[in-house]
Amino acid sequence: MALDINKIPWYAQLGIFGGISIIFVVVFYYYFYTDMRDQMKALEDELQTLQSDINKGLVMEAKREEFKLEIERLNQKLDTLKRILPERQEVDDILRKLQGLAAESNLNILRFTPGAENKKEFYIEWPIAIDISGTYHNLAIFFDKIGKFSRIFNINGLVISAVTNPKIDTLTITSQCTASTFIYMESGPPAPAPRPTAPPPRPARTSSENLKEETGQ
């Protein structure tokens, strides 16, 4: 027997349509909305992960630029050190220049003795013992020239003694000091091992020795 919906009271019809609507809502929620919500949550998580990776990449890029700038700064500092620290092949020129500065200052060089090298981490400290004579004024000129020299020199152990009864005005004091310069120590191949020396030649045999050997004596 067919159900005639028109014969059903209106409030019953309203209840039926309400129940059907609730069923559709429940079905939509569990089968469509929940799935869509899970997909949206997964997309949001993926987006956050990507954003985090992007932020990390930006930080690493910034640090890479910082590292690059730091390397450039260190290279510039190394170049500056190389300019003010003489290298090994410049040592003789430095000695001649230092002697020349003393002569230009009208000082007499009594002793000019390079000392033993003192190796540091990346440079060598090289002391030079100096004994000179002249005047206070000329000694001050000499130290001023050293201070303006392109290479670093430290003056240590300065001793100044007045000359008793000086015979000339240009010789009133004697001075002893140690001028230390610093040599840039660049790593290189090790020094070759010394070659073995050849044995000394045997002395020439005399005629008498040859005669004894022939006669068997």
Per-residue pLDDT of 182-193, as tens digits, reads 877 765 443 343
Which residues, other chains included, contact 139 with Cβ-Cβ below 8 Å and sequence gap of 6+?
105, 107, 132, 160, 173, 175
Whole-number Å distance between alpha carbons of 22 and 27: 9
DSSP of 78-106: HHHHHHHS--GGGHHHHHHHHHHHHHHTT
Q: Higher model confidence: residue 25 or residue 212?
A: 25
Task: Report the first-to-last Cα separation within the chain, whole angstroms.
Answer: 157
Q: Higher model confidence: residue 4 or residue 82?
A: 82
What local confidence, expressed as pLDDT, does residue 215 receive? 46
Q: Higher model confidence: residue 187 or residue 125?
A: 125
Q: What would you measure as the largest C-alpha separation in the chain, in angstroms?
A: 162
pTM of the model: 0.48
* pLDDT range class, residue 10, cuts 50, 70, 90: low
CA 120 vs. chain centroid, Å, equals: 14
Per-residue pLDDT of 145-198, as tens digits, reads 988 887 778 888 999 999 888 778 888 999 999 988 887 776 544 334 334 333
Q: Is the dihedral of CA 170, 144, 94, 153 positive or negative?
A: positive
What local confidence, expressed as pLDDT, does residue 80 receive? 72
Pair 87, 186: CB distance under 8 Å: yes
Domain 88-184 -> CATH class:
alpha beta
Output the average pLDDT for the chain. 73
